Amino acid sequence: MEIKRFETTERMSKAVVHNNTLYLCGQVHAEGDIKEQTAKVLEKIEDLLNKYGSDKNHMLSVTIYIKDMKDFADMNSVWDAWIEKGFAPARACVEAKMARECLLVEMSVVAAIKE
């Protein structure tokens, strides 16, 4: 059983691959409103997916942490424009206290590796 860890610090790895599955740590962006932060987070996710052998059409699940549910519709408007029709992953969204006050959204992804 091989586990590959990438961009690892003493606290976490940015990406982990096991059994052709890619796990990404939570992605955040600390500037802008909810739409700007969501767009930047999705950009980071797409970059990491591509870097480690996957893409957004191979996402299996996404967990979204949002600071305030009042921003749910605006976050979803950016998400809906980004996700391709027919490729929506399993998804959960919860309101959460964020690690830093400026963070409005964080997303964690599990994706299949492309073969």
pTM for the whole structure? 0.95
Nearest to 82 by CA among 103, 109, 53: 109
**pLDDT reported for residue 1:** 80
**pLDDT reported for residue 115:** 77
Q: What is the mean pLDDT of each run of 10 residues along the chain (115 residues)?
A: 94 96 98 98 98 97 98 98 97 97 98 92
Distances (CA, A) of 32 to 17, 40, 48, 92, 106: 31, 10, 21, 23, 14
Burial class (CB in 10 A: 0-12, 13-18, 19+), 89: middle
φ, ψ (nearest 5 deg) of residue 11: -100, -35
**pLDDT reported for residue 53:** 96
Give 108's contacts (C-beta < 8 A, 6+ positions apart): 24, 25, 26, 27, 62, 63, 65
